[in-house]
Each structure stands twice: as C-alpha cells, then as structure tokens.
Amino acid sequence: MDVITTHLNADFDTIASMLAACKLYPGAVCVLPGSQEETVKGFLVQSAFYNLPMRKPREIDLDKVTRLILVDIRTRSRIGIFGELVGRPGVPVHVYDHHPDEDADVKGDLEVIRRVGSTTTILVQILKERGIPITPDEATVMMLGIYRTRVRSASRRPRWTTTSPRRTCSRAGRSSPRCPISSPRI
C-alpha cells in the first residue's frame, strides 16, 4: 500500500499537496500523522474534501506499506509513526518539498525539492507536465495551498505569505476567467 503523509500540525499547503499527490499516485492512502491547524480542521469538516482517501495513523499497518510519499516535509521527527518506515528495506520514500535543506532531512529514493512558495506549486507543475487534469474543486483546494502558505523566516518565526489570485489560478492550472474563485478569503 502506498501512503501519502505530511507533517504534524497540517496546514493548507499540506492538505492541497496531499490531494495533488493522490492524483500522481492513484490508489494511495492519505494519512495525517497528527493534528491540524484550526482553520484546516474547520475546512476539512465543512468541505467536500471527503473524497480524499483519508485514514488515521492507527488504521495503517506499517508492515503493509510498500511506498511512503512525503509532501511538504523532510524531517523524520515530524511525520509521527511513519518515521519508522524511513530506511526500512523494501519501502522506497518519495519526497516533495519546498523547505530549505536541514541536516536532519530524510533522504528519499525520489526527491523533488524546489525553492518555491509551496509544495502544492511543485505538485501542480508536475500534474500539468504530465497532462493530468484538475477538476474545479481540486483546483480550489490547491489554490488554498498556494495562496496562503505558512513559511518560516530565518529566525524561525512563522509568517504568512500570499500570492495574487491571478497567479494562484494560473499555478493551480486554471485560467483566470474559469477560476473557481476570484479572490480567496481565508
């Protein structure tokens, strides 16, 4: 079984990245390793995000995981129980991330690391390159991941960055006139 996971205290970039990764890895199971930010928790409860094959960590038999896909994270200590799979023989690790390199980073069998504003941006670019279509609902979720991304400055204090709605729509694979939302409100 392929498992897509992310970091503890999931934010919109992680949720959108997991959705995009599901399109790259059909049949994979998404697992949040722990808590989510309050705004993300509310979004998950109120949205049609139920289509994502989301599971709880306790529902996953680690011995049945055949591939681990990490999105928006490379730090073993922040992926909960899935840290046990890193380095396990027969379990390749694929990593998609936009954060700066750190000494404790997981080394993946496949790594796509780019210095862009969000991991969602990386995955949307890959979807576009491969010609994998994105529905308007998926584009909306992905836009949230791109539009409002939590990044950390050199001092490690959190700050929010935003991208213009036009650029967000473009990055999420939607032309501005067809973009599902014109001005995201988060």
Higher pLDDT: 43 or 91? It is 91
Higher pLDDT: 35 or 61? It is 61
Q: So what's the pLDDT on residue 49?
A: 54
Minimum mean pLDDT among 53-57, 90-94, 106-110, 136-140: which range? 53-57
Beta strand pairing status for 93-97 and 110-113? parallel
In single-letter form, the type of residue at position 139 comes to A
**Does pLDDT of 157 surpass 50?**
no
Q: So what's the pLDDT on residue 145?
A: 81
Long-range contacts from 53-61, C-beta under 8 angstroms, 24+ separation: 53/22, 53/28, 53/29, 54/30, 55/29, 55/30, 55/31, 56/31, 56/32, 57/31, 57/32, 57/33, 57/81, 57/82, 59/31, 60/1, 60/3, 60/29, 60/31
**Does pLDDT of 113 surpass 60?**
yes
Which domains, and CATH codes, for the chain?
A: 2-132 (3.90.1640.10)
Higher pLDDT: 117 or 184? It is 117
Q: So what's the pLDDT on residue 45?
A: 53
Q: So what's the pLDDT on residue 160?
A: 45
Q: So what's the pLDDT on residue 44?
A: 60
| Mean per-residue pLDDT, 158-178 | 48
Q: So what's the pLDDT on residue 181?
A: 42
Percent above pLDDT 70 for the chain: 68
Q: pLDDT per residue over 71-94, tens digit each?
A: 999 988 888 899 999 999 999 999
